[in-house]
Amino acid sequence: MSAFTATRIEGIVFDLDGTLYVCDRFAAEIQNASVSYIAGIKGLSHNDAELLMTATRARLTEVSGTIQTISAVCTELGGNVQELHRFFERTLRPEAYLVRDERVIRLLERLAQQYSLYIYTNNNRVLTTRIMDYLGLDGVVHGIFTIDDTWRGKPDEEMVQGVLGRIGLSPHAVLFVGDRYDVDLRIPEQLGCPVYLSQNLEQLLRLEEELLTSR
Ligand SMILES: [Mg+2]
């Protein structure tokens, strides 16, 4: 992805899962837990629930033209996003999958010296806090925005406006960083924010360089 043209960036809003860490096994565990939740409320076998969710996701993606979040698929199937997250809190064990990476910790520490850092995630506050603590990233961010603040999952323009309002900076001064363009970046970009797609560690670590060269 080409570098953003930065006009005096003052704040950076990071997505969490898939952005500040990449872990396919934990991502699969989150998917698996969502299947278990849908299986439970629908009275389906795990396998049938998985097939139903895959088909539903494909249909919603076809209709909307954008990739669909777990929250959207869950709601479409009659699930309750709040219940889903309570289920996640009880069953998911990020500590069993994630690995602390000193390079990411140092990156955020350096960035925090020049920018206000925030997290904006479709994960819930309990798990976000656990993951941030476990990864050693808890001390460097100014604020965390989670799905349970409003129960409006990304992508959501009102929520992005709310995040910008809370940060108190104009859109062009706030860089959004995420691993899914449609979910994390499209709306911020439409509102005038610079955006940076990061889908692996190399891209995340390159962010610092991009910020330097864009000045
Ligand atoms: Mg993500």
23 CA from centroid of ligand 1 (Å): 11
Residue stretches of the chain with pLDDT short of 70: 1-7
pLDDT of residue 6: 55
Domains of the chain: 11-23+100-213 (3.40.50.1000), 25-95 (1.10.150)
Is the Cβ–Cβ distance between 20 and 14 less than 8 Å?
Answer: yes
Question: How do residues 46-55 score in pLDDT, each as one tens digit?
Answer: 999 999 999 9
Burial 48-62 (b: 16+ CB within 10 A, else e): ebbebbeebbeebee
18 CA from centroid of ligand 1 (Å): 4
122 CA from centroid of ligand 1 (Å): 8
Classify 189 as helix, strand or coil.
helix
Task: Enter the pTM of the model.
Answer: 0.94
pLDDT of residue 213: 83
15 CA from centroid of ligand 1 (Å): 6
